[in-house]
Amino acid sequence: MNEITIKEAQQNIDKWIKTTGVRYFNELTNLGILMEEVGELSRIMVRKYGEQSFKENESEQNLSDEMADVFWVLMCLANQTGVDMTDALRKNFEKKNLRDSERHQKNEKLK
């Protein structure tokens, strides 16, 4: 698959859900699934980059796949709730650029 925009990702996920996936799970179910996926991502991050080690019967899973799972379910929730993630991300950048334009440069903890 070639590069895709966030808007295309939202559209492709919507199409997949409505054909292959039959229908969306309800919003609360998808929120629970999102939390599960974030937990799976967290487990890998903690073991790979943190101080925990992988358990004896646990293999190092694919970090990028877990991140994609989180993204997928987040896009599902965006589709279900009418959020245009391209627009939301653009507005989020604007907010951060206004609110945090000097905040991090002035943070002594980051130096």
Residue 17 located in a structural domain:
yes
Domain carrying residue 28: 6-83
31: domain CATH number? 1.10.287.1080
The better pLDDT of the pair 61, 41 is held by 41
Q: Are 44 and 60 in contact (CB under 8 A)?
A: yes
Which stretch of 59-63, 94-98, 107-111 has the lowest confidence by average pLDDT?
59-63
pLDDT at 72 over 90: yes
